[in-house]
Structure formats: C-alpha cells, structure tokens
Amino acid sequence: MQFREKKITIQGEYPIGATITYEDESRKSPAVVIIMGTGKLDRDGNGFGLHSNMYKELAHTFAECGYVSARYDKRGTHGSGGSFNSAGLSDLTNDAISVIRYLKSLPYVDENRILVCGHSEGTMIATLVTEKEETSGLILLGGAGMCIKDALYYQNKRMAEELPSIKGLTGAIMRKSFDLNKQLATIDDMFEKSKETNKEKVYVKGAGMPAKWLREHGAYTSEDFAEILKRYGKPVLAITGKADFQADYHRLDALRAESNIRCFAPEGLTHILRVNDGDNSILNVKKTYRRLIKEPLDAGLIRTIKDWLDGLVHCVY
C-alpha cells in the first residue's frame, strides 16, 4: 500500500512535534491519535536502549485500514516544546486533545470518526481524554483499567514472585536485598511526598521524580479508570498480554461485562507488543526486549486490531 507521511508542528500550550500518516487527501477518512507510554522515547517508539518502532508500525497498520493517524513527541522531548519534568498528567492529556483537535481540522479527516490509541501510560491519558473531548472509540494497549501506582505495585510483586526460583549466590544476594514490603512502602512514600511539595521534583532514596506527574497520577485509582471507561459507552478495544511485565492483564476483568468493551489477554504478548516464546522472567526483561524488537509487531495483535476496526462499521452505540 502507498501512503505518505509528513512531519508537522501542532500548536498546543507548547509546540507539539508530530507525524501525520495518510493515504489519500481527496476524501474524508477516519483518524487515530496514537499516545505513547512513559519516558522519553520519540514519536516512533525509539530512544536510548530501545529501538522498537512500535508507534510507527501502529501508524502504518492504521493506514492499511484506511485511517489517517497522528503520532507525536511527548512534551519536552524531541520535537515538542515545554518541560518534561514539569509536565503533569493533566498537561499530557491536554496535549493529546490538541492533537485530536488538529486532526479534526484537516479537510481529509472525518471529524466525527476520531479514535484514540493509547499504549501503557497512553491508556490512562486516552481514558481521561474521553471526559474532555469528543471521540468515537479507544484502543488501549498494555494498561487498560490500571493506574500508575498499581502498575508499580504489580512490577514489584512480579519480581518478588520470581526471586525464590533464582538459584545460587545470585539468588541469595537478590533475595536479601529485595524486600517487597519495603519496595511498596517506598512507592507509597514517593506519592505522598509529591503531595507535600511545590518543587519540580521529589527525591526518594536519591532518585528524582517529577512531582506534578506523580501527584496527578496519584489522584486516580485503577477503579477510577475502569469507571470512566464504563461511562464512556463507545467502542473500546482493550488488549493486555499475559506476558506483559508492566501491566496486569487481570485488570481487564473489571471491564469484560461492558457490551461496548472488547477485552483480550493474548498468551505471550509483552509490553512492547511482540510475543515472547522463550524465557518470560521479569529479571531478564532487558535482554528479552533487545531480542524481540528485531521482530515486527505481533501478527495476532495486528489482526485483532484490524478485525475490530472492520467491525466498527457495523456498530451503533
């Protein structure tokens, strides 16, 4: 398929560097805004230590389905202005809305058929967008119905579950140095400190974290996100893999009863949207990701997305 890409700057509160992917300017097409996860990866899903092209591949998938898409750099990174460390969850949500409104203004986009696709933290941002901006559906990858604090809890609990199986001196050292209760208490302390400061960062055990980002994320529970999605009422596709180290697929259980929400928890699907058919230890996650990013996004995931998009034509909500 032949499609075009152009780099642009969208004017939000600060300039937002974005890439528009589209097939045809002669007709109005539905569109998707792609919202990335935490960190400083660029709009394609690439950065130091991880060259995944996740979001670029998703954009190309949407183009194959006849959708215009926009993917963009997070505030204060790469081609976007503002400060990364000063940005809170509300700021990231407003940036996403600026991109949605830009797409709605394009003459070759059907403003009444705008989807939002969020990955990881992007699932949380996409969920919050529904309360502030009209959209026609959501695709939530690796995080639906889960808050940041519970994600951090989950990652540490996964670590604790695996430690007893590590043999030898390495296992003994790790078990001695890792105390789950202390780790969870540190997470709680981090969020509490963010409520008590006007400074840009809070420091926990010498590590600095953005205070506003923590404070605003801490205001939402997983139950809050689930309730927002239930109120939304429009089509939602929620996919969290069973091999995802960073998001708990069990959180989909709170959404399954909703007629507008389709939930999938594929075997082997990781947070970087590839299937891992080898060692699935969280302790080897970096090694696993370095191996998996050489492969394209999982074909089963792409097929599920395309089938769901095809089904939207016949859905009335």
For residue 296, the domain's CATH number is 3.40.50.1820
List all residues 6 or more positions away from 280 whose beta carbon is below 8 Å from its beta carbon: 243, 268, 288
79 within a domain of the structure (yes/no): yes
Domain of residue 104, residue span: 4-147+221-312
Question: Stretch 245-271: mean pLDDT, rounded?
Answer: 97
- Do 227 and 138 share a domain, yes or no? yes
Of residues 316 and 272, more confidently modeled: 272
82 and 14 Cβ atoms separated by less than 8 Å = yes
Question: Stretch 73-77: mean pLDDT, rounded?
Answer: 98
Which of 189, 219, 249 is the C-terminal boundary of a domain? 219
- Do 80 and 33 share a domain, yes or no? yes
pLDDT for residue 279 is more than 90:
no
268 within a domain of the structure (yes/no): yes
Which parts of 200-260 are beta strand (E)? Answer: 201-204, 207-210, 236-239
CA distance 63 to 192: 43
Record the pTM: 0.96
40: number of Cβ within 10 Å? 13
317 within a domain of the structure (yes/no): no
pLDDT for residue 248 is more than 80:
yes
Which of 219, 237, 259 is the C-terminal boundary of a domain? 219
Pairing state between β 109-119 and 137-141: parallel
Q: Quick: pLDDT tens for 50-63.
A: 899 999 999 999 99
Q: Residue 126 is encoded by which pair of tokens?
A: 């996409």
CA distance 32 to 197: 37
